[in-house]
Structure 1
Amino acid sequence: MGKNLIQQRRGKGNPRYRSPSHRFPGLATYDNIPKGATSGIVTKIIDAPGKTLPLAEVDYNGTKVLHLPNQGISVGQTISMSSAEEGNIVTLKEIPEGTRIYNIELTPGDGGRLCRSSGTFAVVVAREEKKVVVLMPSKKKKEIPADCRATVGTTAGAGRIDKPFMKAGNKYHAMKALGKFTAKTSATNKNAVQHPFGGKNFGKHKTVSRNRPPGRKVGSLAPRRTGKK
C-alpha cells in the first residue's frame, strides 16, 4: 500500500507542519501606532520566534506597540515621527536622497511590506512630486507613493548569515523555530511505495491530468504546453 505524500500530510494539519504561532509575540506593523502619536519610548527588546531579528516594544503614552528595531537600538531610545533620523518613522517624502530605510509601505497605511528581515535596507535614490524611487537590496529600482511610511536606518541582526550552522541539527532547530520544514528528500530518491517518481526506474513522465486522485497528483499539473521553449 502506498504512503501519503508530504502535501497530503501537510494538508491534514499535522503539528509537524504547523507554524507555532502561539509562541509569536505579535505583529510588528505601523497600523498599531495610536492616531495622533508623535513619539514613543523603547521599553524593552524581546526575542521573536518566527522572525530573523528581535522586536522592540515601544510605549506610546501607555499603548505598547511592537516595532522592527534598527541596528544599534537601545532601551530608553525615543522613536519620533517628525525627523528623518536613525530609528525614526517618517513618510518617504520627508527622507533625503541617499538615506537607508527599511520596513517600507507599498501603499499608504498597509503597515510595512518591504525590507523586514535582519540586516536589510533600501536606499532612497530620487524623489518626484508624488513618487519616490527606492533602490531595493536586489538592485531593482521601485517607485513607491511619497505618502508611504518607512523607518530610517538598517534592521537589527546584520551578520546573522555570516556564522555557518556547521551541523544539520542546528539547521533543523533554527527552521523549526521559524515554523518551516527542512531537509526534504528528493522524490526520485524515495522508494516506489513512497512517491510516484520513486523507485529504481527513472524517466517517468511528470505531466499529469487535472483529475488525478490524491497521491498521484504530482509533477506538472495539466500543463498548457510541454518541452523546451
Structure 2
Amino acid sequence: MPRRTKMQRRGKGKPKYRAPSHKYLARAKFPPIREELMVGEVVEILHDPARTAPLMVIRCDDDFYALPAPEGIMVGSQVEIGSGAHLRAGNVLPLGEIPEGMDVFNIELVPGDGGKIVRAAGLSAKVMAKEEGRVIVKLPSRQLKVLNPRCRAMIGVVAGAGRKEKPLLKAGKVYHILKAKAKVWPRVAARAMNPVDHPMGGGKRRHKRKKTTSKRAPRGARVGSIGARRTGRKKGGKK
C-alpha cells in the first residue's frame, strides 16, 4: 500500500502540523465600539511568535488590550480609541474621520470586527478618497478596497519594517521561523519523490505527464490537474 501524501497526513493533525498556539500571547483586536472616547497607556511592548509585528499592551482603566505596535510608539505613550481621537500614530479612529492621504493599518472589514487586514510588520494602507457612505482605501497590494466609514483603523505604519533586511545566512533559521507558524519547511516537490511517496513521484527525468483530474476525489487524494477541462484525445476533426 503506498504511503499517504503530505496533505493526508496534515489533515489528521499530528503535532508536526499543528500550530503551537499555546505559545501565542493574545488576540490583537480593538475593544468593542463605545460612544465615549477611550484613553489608555502603553504598559509593555512584546514579541509574539504568532506574528511578525510587535504587540503593544494598552491599559484602559482596569482592562488590558493588545494591538499591533506602530512605528515610533514607546512604553508610557498614550493611545486614544474612538471617535474624536487625535491624528497621532497608534490612535484608533473610524475611517470616516481620517483625512485623505494618511497612512493607516489594522483595518476593520466590518464595523466592530476588531481589525482584520494590513497587520504584518512594515505594512500600511492609504486613505484615497471619501464618498457618500463609503471610504476607498489603497492596500499594500495596490488594490483599492471600498469600506464602511464606520470601520476603525489605526494611524501610522506597523513597526518592525526592517525584519527582511537582515540576511538569514543558514537554512536552520528559516526552519525555526516557519515552525513557529506551523509551516513545514523545506517542501519537497511531488515529482522529486519516489512513487511510493506521491502519485506524481518516480522517474529519473522531467517528462510530460498524462493529465489527471481529481475534482471528485477525496480531499487527501486531490493531486494533479484538479478540475481539468479535458484529459483525453480531442474528438472530431478540425472545422
Q: Mark yes or no: TM-score above 0.5.
A: yes
1:226 to 218, 230, 238: 230
Kindly indicate whether the alpha-carbon contact (under 8 Å) linking 1:50 and 1:179 is maintained by their aligned counterparts in 2.
no
**Aligned: 1:96 with 2:99:** yes
Kindly indicate whether the alpha-carbon contact (under 8 Å) linking 1:101 and 1:123 is maintained by their aligned counterparts in 2.
yes
Question: Counterpart of 1:10?
Answer: 10
**2:199 aligned partner, one-letter code:** P
SS at match of 2:175: helix
Kindly indicate whether the alpha-carbon contact (under 8 Å) linking 1:44 and 1:56 is maintained by their aligned counterparts in 2.
yes
How far does the alpha carbon of each residue in 1:128-169 deviate from its partner, in whole angstroms, 9 at most, with x for none? 221111111111222111111000000010121122212111
Paired residues for 1:204-223 under 5 Å: 204-210=209-215, 212=217, 216-221=221-226, 223=227
Question: Counterpart of 1:78?
Answer: 78
Kindly indicate whether the alpha-carbon contact (under 8 Å) linking 1:31 and 1:110 is maintained by their aligned counterparts in 2.
no
Structural RMSD (CA): 2.1
Aligned residues: 226
Kindly indicate whether the alpha-carbon contact (under 8 Å) linking 2:214 and 2:224 is maintained by their aligned counterparts in 1.
no
**1:166 aligned partner, one-letter code:** L
Question: Counterpart of 2:57?
Answer: 57
Kindly indicate whether the alpha-carbon contact (under 8 Å) linking 1:40 and 1:59 is maintained by their aligned counterparts in 2.
yes
TM-score (norm 1): 0.91
Kindly indicate whether the alpha-carbon contact (under 8 Å) linking 1:5 and 1:215 is maintained by their aligned counterparts in 2.
yes
**Aligned: 1:116 with 2:130:** no
Kindly indicate whether the alpha-carbon contact (under 8 Å) linking 2:134 and 2:146 is maintained by their aligned counterparts in 1.
yes
Question: Counterpart of 1:153?
Answer: 156
Q: Percent identity?
A: 40
How far does the alpha carbon of each residue in 1:189-218 deviate from its partner, in whole angstroms, 9 at most, with x for none? 011111111111743334234555687542
| Greater C-alpha radius of gyration | 2
Question: Counterpart of 2:237?
Answer: none
Paired residues for 1:120-131 under 5 Å: 120-131=123-134
The offset of 1:220, in angstroms, is 2.5
Kindly indicate whether the alpha-carbon contact (under 8 Å) linking 1:104 and 1:113 is maintained by their aligned counterparts in 2.
yes
Kindly indicate whether the alpha-carbon contact (under 8 Å) linking 1:33 and 1:65 is maintained by their aligned counterparts in 2.
no
The offset of 1:34, in angstroms, is 7.3
Kindly indicate whether the alpha-carbon contact (under 8 Å) linking 2:53 and 2:119 is maintained by their aligned counterparts in 1.
no
Greater shift in the superposed pair: 88-97 or 192-201:
192-201
TM-score (norm 2): 0.87
Unpaired runs of at least 5, structure 1 = none
Paired residues for 1:32-43 under 5 Å: 36=36, 38-43=38-43
SS at match of 1:11: helix
SS at match of 1:183: coil
**Aligned: 1:200 with 2:203:** yes
Kindly indicate whether the alpha-carbon contact (under 8 Å) linking 2:32 and 2:112 is maintained by their aligned counterparts in 1.
no
**1:153 aligned partner, one-letter code:** G
Shift in CA distance, 77/206, structure 1 to aligned 2, threshold 3 Å: farther
Unpaired runs of at least 5, structure 2 = 232-239
SS at match of 1:159: helix
